[in-house]
Structure 1
Amino acid sequence: MLLTTMRMDSRTNNSSGHSTRRQILAAMGGAGAVSLAGCTGGGDDDGDTAGDDDASGSDNEITVAVGANPDTLDLAQSNDAPSNAVYGHLVYQTLVANDYDLSFAPQLATDWEVADDEVTWTLQLREGVEFHNGDEFTADDVVFSVERFRGTVNDDIVNSIAEVNVVDDFTVEIVTDSPQAQFLTDMSSLYIYPEGAEGLSTTVAEDDFNFEGGSVGTGPFELDTFASEDRIVLSRYDNYWAEEENPWQTATFQVVTENVSQEEAIQNGEVDVIDSPRAFQLSQWNDDEIVDIEAVGFDLIGFPTAASPFTNQKLRRGMARLVNRDDVIEAIYSGRGTPLAGPISPGLTAFYDQDFTDRMHEEFVGFNVERGNQLIQEALEEEGVEPPINIEVRTNVNEERELWMQEVTQTWDETESINAELNVIDFPSLVDFITAEDGLAQSSDIVIGIGWTGGSDPNGHIEDLYATENQVPEGNNWSLYSNEEVDSLIAEGQETIDTDARVEVYRELQEILIEESPHAWLWTTDRIHVVDPESIEGWSPHPNSSLRFDGIFAPERDSITQPL
């Protein structure tokens, strides 16, 4: 349920929109159309750099090139994918873990059951677990962690919990205020903190703990070094609870924001893995260098629904109809993606239906230039706005995202109703803009392009983005979308346990959302990593972007990357 960043190539951004659509899409065809940039490996003040020790040749250090460092090391306050991917589960852990097939595996809880009342959950906790500060993990830490998440940007994880009762040191009872179908999904996002850690509080605003100075998780690694916008270095925690031996003394995540620079880094033997190869340039890699998996989540365009003329759903649907999803997927993602109509992607299996998606495209948001222009013109007339309107299209620096946003921006700009200009900024600045009360929520002329990881349960694809109570700054409803029927169906979807009945709830939910289109849902694409097959084996990217590096050492999910 967290924001996902994609990485970029640093070639000059053409925000003026002067290049033609044909030039933009043609640029996908070969390396000659894309300027290359040097590696941005960046060192610490002492001159150390990720490549100095030839990490790829070291048996006890794994080095991964990533597009962004964690925004925060306090995961109770994190709503971005890099923070969770780099730090969550490797350093801090949850009661249950999302497995690679999106089922649930034991982590700090070894077993669980729900009573016949469907609201009382009893969890058996793992014994012999030690936090990085030396404290023993017990049921009291679960109580503390639930309270610590309350009132944060991740409050939706715990807001249905009415009681947390300690049965004994290693048994906890959690009572929800109603049946919660996504309970285990929530528990897979509730990071556990030690109650006795000095400086930690159940109210995060009252914390006096230096998260950048050390970690107090239960994961296989602890924090060694954090250099914002440069790297994060994790060291093996020798008192980790698993029987399996962690083969890595050090895991280094080196920030390399440019896609091309990541590719150069792995070709030069400076890193073992890159997480952002250009999908349209995969032909440069051998088969044993590419590791990919069908992902969950989606890319979207977000509209400020509380500000005219974007209060008119016809404008939003019309703009969505001008996006040729199939062409973009083929040109930019080498066909490794699925066009979407709504916020549920194929990775959610039973909850995704292709026939339903096709019908929603036909009725509401599918590519149709004539209908799209007609809807935009009708909306502006109804709002009493003289065309053309001026729109800034804002996204984060990333080659693939920049390219499809250029395509979308130019498509809108070529209409008689819209003057559109692209503005590309760094990912942290984009997150700050969309999560601020006076950011996207108060804008009348800015739309954004970004991604959402969603997670393993359909609720994670909808509640935080579209529930009225999650409007910023309380949650991630940046568009200030509000619909009482949607709110009611979100609650019904959470409380409906039967899968078939729940599928119908989310079908109805999606139909309302798609018709009103607070966002334009675009596509879901495969998770693609490139590895050095001569330095590591067994690399397994997770379908959830927020968990994509868990496989470095996740023995409870039968995933351990080994050095060669």
Structure 2
Amino acid sequence: MRYATKTKLLSGTALLAVGFLSSAVLAQDVTIAFAADELGATSYNPVTSSNLNSATSLIYDRLVEQDADQSYHPHLATSWEEAPDGMSWVFHLKDGVTFHDGTPFNAQSVADWIPDFTDTENAYLVAAIESVEIVDDLTVKLVMSRPEPNLLYNLSSTFMGVPGSAAYEEMGDEFGVSGAVGTGPFKLDSFAIGLETVLVRNEDYAWASDLSENQGVAHVGQITFREVPDQSTAFLELKTGGIDLLLGVPTDFLEILKVESNIAIIQMPGTGINYMPINVTSAPFDDIKVREATGLAVNQEAIVASIYNGVGAPAHNFLIGSLPEAQVDPMLNVTYDVDKANTLLEEAGWVMGDGNVRTKDGTPLSVKLFTQNGTEFTSLTQVIQAQLAEIGMEAVITVFDSSTIRDEYKNNRHQLAVRGYDWNNSDILDWFFSGKRLGYPNISMWEDAEGQRLNDVAMEDSKNSDERIANFKAYHEYVLSQHLFVPIYQPTKNIAYNSDRVNVPDPVRGTRFRSQTVLDMTVVE
């Protein structure tokens, strides 16, 4: 794999080519604050990173794009054909595309790129591709080891932005940190981990997807993406002009923002849920009755009404409601039932003690409840704490930044945590519950032979879309039966921007705020 062969930096000339340019502020610059769930990225290497953000899609283009209605649209690929047996795909590539360093994008680029996923956390995205055959300079054939009905979704993922193979080879481990080369409408100018990312316009860009009206160079000259961990601070900066656009606006800020004459709000359908993973290896949660009781203590409807003012929807399983795999046996959905929760805890030997905290063999039912910083998550975690107290469980809250909390997960120092994910495909079950991913992202620390079998069938043995839905539904139902997490809330995606500074297209095309939207953004003169 080329990624592991070199660790040297690009030469000064090459660095200029990838976008490490003058720090002079360009005209038509825009400042954007990341959403809370996008904080903490340590690299813009889409092949190896497990945590990417909205800026990534501006640096790299993808072969395929997905719209909000789940339809797929050509981008670097102009068209494709799947063999009737699903054992090969042919992709026809766009002519005239170049990477930021001036090298051409062609069939060889695809052939060089796919093998780089080997032995990475993202290898599952291309696991069904056995080989890449170059038909001609602008045509590739993906030979499959098995049918992969999810291939177009995978190719539209942020993790499958296509990097420039020459820079990937030369930069090695520094790719995505000291520099990044894609074909996208913006180039990486600077990246200060945990602080900000500065992108500058790609003046040669002329190959947008049909999700953008603007097919050429972006109207915006420079974008500074800032990491603002405290959402209240980001909210205040939007009002006072420090930020032009805020991704992931907390729902409780919406009513306040609506009265601001220069603030516009766009609401998009949600593509994830907020939930509470349960570490099944940490007592008392190694007892399935305690895990089930914990889930029954959470009142999802009350949370939507009180915290989110009725915006969004309660979550009762692990998948967003628009996915067919979410339509499970109703008996497996997790719903509030405090009486049953108390009964289960009594059966598990936990009796109510002094101070309304249960005990067992002299040990109080006191647990660690982790969350990441940000107004929305801390407020939600406090409500969860109060609801758990109603069944005699004392939850002690600790707030971490997004990077530190991942270290806690990986080192198995957690019990409960309030968090969210953003992914509109059922393979998120593999990401968070496969025994091959213990620590992170498998925060539940769940390793189960039957669960892994069902996971592997869903991921690898589905011959078509109908089979894939059935297999993932069966896997989802088994996961639910093991009480590995507590579903809480399915949010909307809220974007707010200063209309005195920028114009943002509404509705936003695509499932997320990505390059197709930024290409159509303009700065108010």
TM tier relative to shorter chain: 0.7 to 0.9
Q: Which residue is equivalent to 2:88?
A: 120
Is 1:309 the counterpart of 2:284? The answer is yes
Moved more, 335-344 or 493-502: 493-502
What are the ranges of 5 or more consecutive residues in structure 1 without an aligned counterpart? 1-47, 202-206, 555-559
**Alignment match of 1:465 (pick from 432, 442, 454):** 432
Tell me the amino acid that sits aligned with residue 532 of structure 1. Answer: N
1:276-335 Cα shifts (integer Å, max 9, x gaps): 433123222238711111111111111222344322222111101101111111111121
Alignment of 1:258 onto 2:243 = no
1:103 CA drift (Å) = 2.0
Partner of 1:533: 499
Q: How far does residue 64 in structure 1 lie from its aligned partner after superposition? A: 0.8
The answer to whether the 8 A contact 1:97-1:188 is kept is: yes
The code of the aligned residue for 2:418 comes to G
Secondary structure of 2:174's aligned partner: coil
Alignment partner, residue 367 of structure 2: 391
2:47 is the counterpart of 1:72: no
Question: Given the superposition, is the C-alpha separation of residues 231 and 466 from structure 1 closer, same or farther in structure 2, using an over 3 Å criterion?
Answer: same
When normalised by structure 1's length, the TM-score is: 0.78
The separation in 2 between residues aligned to 1:156 and 1:209, in whole angstroms, is: 23
The answer for the alignment partner of 2:186 in structure 1 is 221
Q: Any conservation in 2 of the 1:59–1:563 contact (CA below 8 Å)?
A: no
How far apart in 2 are the matches of 1:497 and 1:173?
19
**Is 1:277 matched up with 2:252?**
no
C-alpha deviation, 1:128, in angstroms: 1.1
The alignment partner of 2:59 has SS state of: coil
CA contact (8 A) 1:360 1:514 kept: yes
Kindly provide the amino acid, as one letter, of the partner of residue 297 in structure 1. G
Aligned length: 479
Structure 1 residue 172, shift from structure 2 partner: 1.2
What is the CA distance between 1:256 and its match in structure 2? Answer: 2.1
Paired with 2:361 and 2:472, the residues of 1 have a C-alpha distance of: 35
Question: Paired residue for 1:173?
Answer: 141
Structure 1: how far apart are the matches of 2:82 and 2:50?
29
The aligned runs of 1:362-377 (5 Å cut-off) are 365-377=334-346
Task: Report the CA distance between 1:208 and its aligned residue.
Answer: 4.7
CA contact (8 A) 2:76 2:94 kept: yes
**Is the CA contact (8 Å cut-off) linking 2:167 and 2:175 kept in structure 1?**
no
Is contact 1:109–1:124 with CA below 8 Å preserved after alignment? yes
- More displaced stretch, 192-201 vs 328-337: 192-201
The Cα RMSD (Å) is 2.8
Q: Given residue 432 of structure 2, which amino acid in structure 1 is its aligned partner? A: L
Question: Helix, strand or coil for the counterpart of 2:53?
Answer: helix
Paired amino acid for 2:471 = V
How far off is 1:500 after superposition?
4.6
Q: How many Å apart are 1:413 and its aligned residue?
A: 3.6
> Given residue 411 of structure 1, which amino acid in structure 2 is its aligned partner?
Q
Q: Which residue among 406, 412, 430 is the counterpart of 2:388?
A: 412
What code does the residue aligned with 2:486 have?
Answer: A
SS at match of 1:454: coil
Contact 2:338–2:391 (8 Å) recurs in 1: no
Conserved in 1, the CA contact under 8 Å of 2:191 and 2:197?
yes
**CA-to-partner distance for each residue in 1:107-155, whole Å, 9 max, x for gaps?**
2211111101212111111221111111111222212222111211212
Q: Does the 8 Å contact 2:273/2:320 carry over to 1?
A: yes
Question: Aligned residue for 1:60?
Answer: 28
1:183 deviation in Å?
Answer: 1.0
Distance between the aligned counterparts of 1:95 and 1:467, measured in 2?
Answer: 28
Counting aligned pairs with the same residue, the percent is: 22
Q: Which amino acid is 1:374 matched to?
A: T
**Contact 1:496–1:502, Cα closer than 8 Å, also in 2:** yes
Output aligned runs, 1:467-486, within 5 Å. 467-472=434-439, 476-486=441-451
Shift of 1:378: 2.9
Q: Are residue 450 (structure 1) and residue 426 (structure 2) matched?
A: no
Residue 155 in 1 paired to residue 120 in 2?
no
Normalised by the length of structure 2, the TM-score is: 0.84
More displaced 10-residue stretch of structure 1: 70-79 or 532-541:
532-541
CA shift, 1:497, in A, is 5.1
Does the 8 Å CA contact 1:345/1:524 hold for their aligned counterparts? yes
Cα distance change on mapping 1:139 and 1:379 into 2, 3 Å: farther
Among 197, 209, 213, the alignment partner of 1:232 is 197
In structure 2, the residue corresponding to 1:85 is in which secondary structure? Answer: coil
Distance 1:249 1:162 in 2: 41
- Give the 3-state SS of the residue equivalent to 1:295 in structure 2: coil
